């Protein structure tokens, strides 16, 4: 409107007519712009919508959107030029047809349309390029690899168009003002216009020559930087940077690249020095490792020899222990007996004994020696002999007293060794059983009539275990518990091999699970009940190799 007021010189009547025309023309122009942008951006907006909704994008849709997106600056610039011409024509054509006017007024109106078109084309291109590049930097087309390449638009073209557009807009503004002023006062002449066009032509020539000179200088500087980078890429780190007459951004880039080259050169030198040093260190270290390996080989041969001797000793100890402990179950018309003995290693710390007197079952012992290996195995042989001899030598003593005698003799025999024993000792007289416990786990009693399972202890007591066997200064008396066993009822004796074992989830086989297995065991033979318990235990731990200790158990069923 300012342009119309200053350059077209409308009369009040013309301005009133023009004021009725331009709102309709402006509205039509806005509708045209919105429709144009909608059509232009359709494939790009469809692609963005799928990205926002996390929907899969077809290759054709991706390539179509990328192609249109990369052409947006050019299409927007061309569209801006066309829209200004067409949009302004919505007002200029009706004004020309329906309003009385002078020729210079229509000429200046069309000149204004051209000025706006050039200004729009010159601004839409860089603005669209800036914002499209921002979107591209956010990775909106990084999902797939498209074949579309960006438009080629070099610096000379940019500088020339910027300069020409700037000059044209300024010259056109001045020309329209000059033209309207001259024509409105009727002072124009061909010579005047000829001089004006000469100066306009000179301005345009200057606007083209100046970008050529600037582009030549900038291209030379950029080419120098590119050549410098190529030499560095070829490995030439001794290249020197040329000086700069004028200090500008290109010079700063060149200096930054030179600093990078110097750091890279120093890093390569350090790496080469390190490589030489590493080679020597590798040689020295290899020699050290070779000597160490030779020493290890000698030591390994010695260890293998000692290990072979140790294995032989273990086999001999295991063989002696097996012959000494293994025996057939005693014949008993009153009791059905079953047992299991599964050492964790070749030599076991567990041992058991069935003592018969006059062909009848008189006693059962189940003991566990602390520690592992040959020492524990030898103590089992010694302790078994002491226990059986003491048991037979004192048939009239209480079983707790016998356990105390055994303890004192073991203290004398074991001496200062760190090993100790735990265990239970039972004596059978018809249906009456005497029981003593030396720091061992409970034994369990199952009633055939009620399926009730309970630990054996004195009425009202919660703990009946005495102290360890074979430990100095622990020679107190052991308690004796006497109870009766009814036909069909059973006793269950164990060492701690079951209770210290875990499954793959690091859960222990607890006493509650042992009691449940005893309760659910069949009421058949002692062997059937024992096998049921073992199946339940191994089913719980999953792998027999997970058993943490020797597995020894005895089941005694009253017939």
The DSSP code sequence of 97-144 is HHS---HHHHHHHHHHHHHHHHHHHHHHHHHHHHHHHHHHHTTTT-SS
Question: Is the pLDDT assigned to residue 163 strictly greater than 80?
Answer: no
- Measure Cα distances from 314 to 169, 321, 323, 553 in Å: 107, 10, 14, 24
Of the two residues 324 and 372, the one the predictor is more confident about is: 372
pLDDT (average), residues 7-33: 84
Q: What is the pLDDT of residue 512?
A: 93
Tell me what pLDDT residue 424 has: 97
3-state secondary structure of 83: helix
CA distance 122 to 163: 10
- Per-residue pLDDT at 346 exceeds 60: yes
Could you give the 3-state DSSP secondary structure of residue 336?
Answer: strand
Report whether pLDDT(221) > 90. no
Query: CB neighbours of 80 closer than 8 A, spacing ≥ 6?
Result: 117, 120, 121, 123, 124
From 558, 283, 334, select the one nearest 447 (Cα to Cα): 558
**DSSP state string for 196-240:** HHHHHHHHHHHHHHHHHHHHHHHHHHHHHHHHHHHHHHTT-TT--
Q: What is the mean pLDDT of residues 285-301?
A: 83
Residue 433: what pLDDT? 96
**Alpha-carbon distance 112 to 109, whole Å?**
5
Mean pLDDT of 323-333: 74
Per-residue pLDDT at 423: 96
* Ordered strands of the 350-357 beta sheet: 350-357, 360-369, 421-429, 432-438, 481-484
What are the tokens at 239? 């290249």
Question: Stretch 521-536: mean pLDDT, rounded?
Answer: 96
For residue 199, name the pLDDT band (cuts at 50, 70, 90): low
More confident residue, 374 or 250: 374
Burial of 430 (0-12, 13-18, 19+ CB in 10 A): exposed
Residue 480 pLDDT: 94
Give the residue-averaged pLDDT of 100-119: 82
- In this predicted structure, which of 63-72, 139-148, 205-214 has the lowest mean pLDDT? 139-148
Residues 405 and 387: beta-carbon distance below 8 Å: no
- Among 95-99, 263-267, 370-374, 521-525, the range of highest mean pLDDT: 521-525
With a cut of 60, say whether residue 313 has pLDDT above it: no
CA distance 124 to 145: 28
pLDDT band with cut points at 50, 70 and 90 for residue 258: confident
In the predicted model, is pLDDT for residue 485 greater than 90?
A: yes
What are the angstrom distances between the C-alpha of 19 and each of 8, 14, 109? 14, 9, 14
Percent of the chain past pLDDT 90, that is, above it, reads: 29
Helical residues (DSSP H) of 326-398, grouped into ranges:
374-393
Cβ–Cβ under 8 Å, residues 94 and 21: yes
Alpha carbons 495 and 481: distance in angstroms, whole number: 20
- The pTM of this model reads 0.48
Class of residue 169 by CB neighbours under 10 A (exposed 0-12, middle 13-18, buried 19+):
middle
Q: How confident is the model at residue 392 (pLDDT cuts 50, 70, 90)?
A: very high
Question: Do β-strands 444-446 and 360-369 pair in parallel, antiparallel, or remain unpaired?
Answer: unpaired
Asked if residue 501 has pLDDT above 80, the reply is yes
**pLDDT at residue 120 in the model:** 83
**pLDDT-wise least confident of 219-228, 285-294, 331-340:** 219-228
Report which listed range, 135-149, 283-297, 446-460, 517-531, is most confident: 517-531
For residue 91, what are the contacts with CB-CB under 8 A and spacing of at least 6? Answer: 18, 21, 22, 25, 26, 109
d(CA 516, CA 533): 9
More confident residue, 263 or 181: 263
pLDDT per residue as tens digits for the range 265-275: 788 888 888 88
Residue 223 vs residue 55, higher pLDDT: 55
State the average pLDDT for the chain. Answer: 83
d(CA 261, CA 174): 53
pLDDT score, position 286: 84
Q: What per-residue confidence (pLDDT) applies to 391?
A: 97
Highest mean pLDDT out of 25-34, 128-137, 274-283: 25-34
Q: What is the pLDDT of residue 80?
A: 86
Provide the token pair at 88: 């302004």
Give the residue among 339, 499, 495, 324 at the shortest CA–CA distance from 423. Answer: 495
Has residue 488 got a pLDDT over 90?
yes
Nearest Cα neighbor of 529 from 483, 491, 496 is: 491
Q: Among residues 150, 154, 277, which one has the least CA distance to residue 212?
A: 154
Q: Where are the beta strands (DSSP E) in 241-385?
A: 335-342, 350-357, 360-369
Mean pLDDT of 244-248: 63
pLDDT of residue 147 exceeding 60, the answer is no
């Amino acid at each position: 409107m300012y342009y119309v007021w200053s350059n077209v010189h409308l009369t009040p009547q013309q301005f009133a007519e023009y004021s009725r025309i331009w709102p309709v023309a402006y509205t039509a122009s806005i509708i045209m712009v919105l429709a144009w942008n909608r059509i232009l951006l359709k494939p790009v907006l469809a692609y963005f919508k799928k990205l926002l909704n996390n929907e899969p994008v077809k290759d054709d849709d991706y390539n179509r959107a990328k192609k249109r997106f990369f052409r947006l600056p050019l299409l927007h610039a061309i569209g801006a030029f066309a829209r200004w011409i067409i949009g302004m024509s919505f007002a200029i054509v009706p004004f020309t047809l329906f309003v009385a006017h002078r020729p210079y007024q229509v000429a200046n109106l069309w000149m204004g349309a051209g000025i706006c078109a050039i200004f729009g084309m010159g601004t839409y291109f860089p603005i669209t390029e800036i914002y499209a590049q921002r979107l591209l930097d956010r990775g909106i087309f990084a999902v797939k690899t498209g074949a579309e390449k960006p438009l080629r638009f070099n610096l000379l073209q940019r500088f020339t168009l910027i300069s020409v557009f700037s000059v044209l807009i300024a010259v056109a503004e001045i020309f329209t003002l000059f033209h309207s002023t001259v024509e409105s006062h009727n002072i124009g002449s061909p010579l005047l216009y000829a001089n004006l066009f000469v100066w306009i032509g000179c301005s345009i020539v200057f606007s083209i020559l100046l970008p050529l000179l600037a582009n030549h200088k900038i291209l030379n500087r950029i080419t120098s930087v590119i050549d410098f980078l190529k030499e560095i890429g070829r490995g030439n780190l001794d290249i020197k940077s040329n000086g700069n007459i004028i200090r500008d951004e290109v010079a700063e880039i060149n200096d930054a690249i030179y600093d990078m080259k110097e750091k890279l050169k120093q890093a390569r030198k350090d790496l080469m020095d390190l490589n030489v040093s590493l080679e020597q260190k590798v040689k020295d270290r290899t020699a050290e490792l070779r000597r160490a390996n030779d020493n290890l080989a000698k030591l390994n041969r010695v260890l293998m020899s000692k290990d072979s001797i140790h294995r032989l000793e273990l086999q001999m100890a295991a063989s002696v222990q097996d012959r000494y402990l293994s025996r057939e179950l005693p014949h008993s018309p009153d009791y059905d007996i079953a047992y299991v003995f599964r050492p964790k290693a070749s030599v076991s710390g567990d041992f058991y004994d069935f003592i018969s007197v006059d062909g009848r079952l008189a006693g059962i012992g189940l003991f566990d020696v602390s520690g592992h290996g040959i020492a524990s195995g030898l103590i089992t042989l010694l302790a078994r002999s002491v226990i059986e001899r003491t048991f037979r030598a004192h048939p009239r003593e209480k079983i707790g007293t016998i356990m105390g005698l055994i303890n004192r003799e073991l203290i004398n025999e074991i001496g200062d060794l760190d090993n100790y024993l735990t265990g239970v000792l039972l004596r059978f007289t018809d249906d009456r059983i005497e029981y003593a416990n030396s720091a061992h786990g409970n034994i369990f009693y199952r009633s055939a009539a009620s399926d009730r399972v309970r630990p054996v202890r004195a009425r009202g007591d919660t703990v009946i275990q005495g102290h360890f066997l074979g430990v100095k200064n622990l020679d107190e008396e052991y308690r004796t518990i006497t109870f009766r066993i009814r036909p069909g009822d059973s006793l269950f004796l164990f060492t701690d091999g079951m209770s210290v074992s875990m499954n793959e989830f690091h859960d222990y086989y607890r006493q509650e699970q042992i009691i449940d297995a005893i309760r659910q065991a069949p009421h058949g033979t002692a062997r059937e009940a024992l096998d049921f318990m073992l199946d339940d235990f191994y089913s719980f731990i999953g792998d027999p190799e997970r058993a943490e200790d020797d597995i020894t158990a005895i089941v005694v069923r009253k017939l």
